[in-house]
Amino acid sequence: MPRPYVLLSAAVSLDGFLDDTGPDRLLLSGPADFDRVDEVRAASDAILVGAGTIRADNPRLLVNSAERRAARVAAGRPEYPLKVTVSGSGDLDPDARFWHTGGEKVLYTTDKGAARAAEALDGLGVDVVPAGPDLDWHVVLEHLYDVRGVRRLMVEGGGRVHTQLLRLGLADELQLALAPLLVGQPGAPRLFGPGPYPGGPAGRLRLAETRPVGDVVLMRYVPTAPGTGPYASAADRYWLALACELAGLCPPSRTAFSVGAVVVAADGTELARGHSREGDPVEHAEEAALAKIDPADPRLASATVYSSLEPCARRASRPAPCARLILDAGVRRVVTAWREPDTFVPGADGNGILTAAGADVVVLPEYAAAAKAPNGHLLP
């Protein structure tokens, strides 16, 4: 199911805290960074915070710049991004500033919390949406995409919400402002809590950008650890976007598709990449990528192959099609953007060969257009 691009935004102290233990919110950023955050908000369709953050910080979550609001309106968008919060209990303070400022608001809660929230927020015009017996983030994100038309979601905390979204593999990007101060209080709230994260302790996020903003440093990270089984993670979308961009490197051909492929280990390490006709005029992308990896590499068994097009099922030019090469390499997970049409090989079913052998195949059709007409500009 398609869902919004999810951007986690936080400012953090040098010792990893979001705030101190005092009653007032500790200001980690300076004016320049608050202005940067305002710009990111203005570029978002919706801003989300957890109910705990509303309780602790009582934020307004507005776009403060009149110019940016005017630019939104001129572009046919609402003056303010949609404000979104989540609360399992539905126990919310109707006097919080969140409800009384800006544009439209949505609350996602549990089936149980919905009645309590509807009563607490009666008359405030808040859309209260039950999202299952327990709050299910997949339901929340799909609803935001489908029903509210949100394509870009900015998440401003707190630590619990950031932790859940990153752990579930649902964060497409992390924007972290590192502030030059030390909180040093054991009970203070941390950015990320303990527990398992995709890729494990050795998994490294990809650093997309660093930039000084006043006296803080902005760091933009992209998660890289592939999803598991049939579930698509945000990192799956990143790697498939890269595969689609690699398809743009293929020498043109009238008799074959242009395809890009990347092989990625479970911890997010790129093992190899390739594209069609890279080495010789009939070489396929998955074949080119797999040929660069030692067949004895133990990481292949838990790796994912990203291919902009479904791996081929039959070929005249080589003894084994790519679906077979992938299985023979020991790979058991494939992510692709579109099924092979009958243009060159009728009835090809590479995905069928893969799934029959027990591999997981994930198709992300939202990348099909990019896969068919690679032109770049997909990667964050």
Binding site for Zn ion (CB under 5 A): 284, 312, 322
DSSP string, 187-223: TSPBSS-SS--TT-TT---EEEEEEEETTEEEEEEE-
Buried b (16+ CB within 10 A) or exposed e, 325-359: bbbebebbbbbbbbebeeeebeebbbbebbeeeeb
3-state class (DSSP) for residue 139: helix
Phi-psi region of 169 (alpha: psi -120 to 50; beta: other; left: phi over 0): left
Task: Please give the single-letter amino acid code of residue 84.
Answer: V
Residue 312 Cβ, how far from Zn ion at the closest point, in Å?
3
Residue 349 Cβ, how far from Zn ion at the closest point, in Å?
13
CB of 140 or CB of 259, closer to Zn ion: 259
Residue 303 Cβ, how far from Zn ion at the closest point, in Å?
17
Task: Name residue, tokens 């544009």.
Answer: 103
CB of 234 or CB of 325, closer to Zn ion: 325
CB of 124 or CB of 293, closer to Zn ion: 293
Distance, in Å, from the CA atom of 371 to the CA atom of 374, rounded to the nearest integer, reads: 6
Pairing of strands 360-363, 127-130: unpaired
Residue 242 Cβ, how far from Zn ion at the closest point, in Å?
18
Residue 321 Cβ, how far from Zn ion at the closest point, in Å?
6
3-state SS track over 318-330: CCCCHHHHHHHCC
Residue 320 Cβ, how far from Zn ion at the closest point, in Å?
9
Distance, in Å, from the CA atom of 124 to the CA atom of 105, rounded to the nearest integer, reads: 9
Residue 168 Cβ, how far from Zn ion at the closest point, in Å?
32
Task: Please give the single-letter amino acid code of residue 216.
Answer: V
CB of 84 or CB of 272, closer to Zn ion: 272
CB of 83 or CB of 275, closer to Zn ion: 275
Are 244 and 337 spatial neighbours (Cβ–Cβ below 8 Å)? yes
CB of 124 or CB of 363, closer to Zn ion: 363
CB of 212 or CB of 251, closer to Zn ion: 251
Residue 264 Cβ, how far from Zn ion at the closest point, in Å?
18
Distance, in Å, from the CA atom of 276 to the CA atom of 347, rounded to the nearest integer, reads: 21
CB of 190 or CB of 275, closer to Zn ion: 275
Tell me which residue of 359, 365, 281 sits closest to 323, measured CA to CA.
Answer: 359
